[in-house]
Chains A and B, each alone.
Chain A
Amino acid sequence: GENVEQHPSTLSVQEGDSAVIKCTYSDSASNYFPWYKQELGKRPQLIIDIRSNVGEKKDQRIAVTLNKTAKHFSLHITETQPEDSAVYFCAASKTGANNLFFGTGTRLTVIP
């Protein structure tokens, strides 16, 4: 099956700086890559996703890049704010497949 690795496990940044979280996947057939944000005690919530027919997608301060050849994708958060502090999970899946394979999460702390 698919194996998704996520780094780093913890990340601290100063407010206003950028944060980057990286994930690699093993199955070259995977073509759907969502990112979820989970605040303490809350449900995971989708913040952005990308499909393998594009290399980059942006939504305001959040962007995701995908390198299919290297089988890795990254989350970029610019101008970080304290409310960005949470655990972020990457995941990978294939079109039409039910299995969504998650990374082990990155705890992001934004220091005011």
Chain B
Amino acid sequence: NAGVTQTPKFQVLKTGQSMTLQCAQDMNHNSMYWYRQDPGMGLRLIYYSASEGTTDKGEVPNGYNVSRLNKREFSLRLESAAPSQTSVYFCASSVDAGETQYFGPGTRLLVL
């Protein structure tokens, strides 16, 4: 039981490049989330998916898109990366909305 997994662990991008962050969970959870973590600002919700086939904006969605590929997988896409998107990105999942969230190991992204 791997829990929540994320790929890649590290990534360096140039401004304007695109990339997709992958997340998968094997706990049969309905809800999945993407957060970013910046120094001194805690974790902020980018997008979430309450169930397979649905996605909604969180606190800081600008510059990102998401896809809930199936119940297990939830990807985050940066279409045109900007230096302001340099951050640590965490994926999380929960049985349902409002239940305990379990986090993946994170992806460190540097945009030059």
Contact = CB atoms under 8 A, between A and B. Distances in A.
Given A102-B44, A104-B41, A97 B103 contact: no
B100 A104 contact: no
A54 B102 CA distance: 23
Interface of B: 31, 33, 40-45, 48, 50, 56, 58-59, 90, 96-98, 100-106
A32 B98 contact: yes
Contact of B42 (A1, A42, A43, A89): A89
Interface string A78-112: 00000000000100011111111011110000000
Contacts of A46: 100-102
Nearest to A95: B98
A46 B43 CA distance: 14
A55 interface: no
A106 to B, nearest CB: 10
Given A97-B97, A98-B98, A44 B43 contact: yes
Given A1-B59, A32-B98, A93-B98, A102 B42 contact: yes
A49 B97 contact: no
A42 B59 contact: no
Give the interface centre of A1, A36, A43, A102 by most chain B CB atoms within 10 Å. A43
21 contacts: A32-B98, A34-B101, A36-B103, A43-B103, A44-B103, A46-B101, A46-B102, A89-B42, A94-B98, A95-B98, A96-B96, A96-B98, A97-B97, A98-B33, A98-B56, A99-B45, A102-B42, A104-B41, A104-B42, A105-B40, A105-B42
Contact of B90 (A43, A98, A99, A104): A43
A48 B10 CA distance: 30
Nearest to B104: A43
Given A32-B98, A99-B45, A100-B45, 6 more contacts: A6-B42, A95-B98, A97-B97, A98-B33, A98-B50, A105-B40
A86 to B, nearest CB: 14
Nearest to B42: A102
A45 interface: yes
Nearest to A9: B40
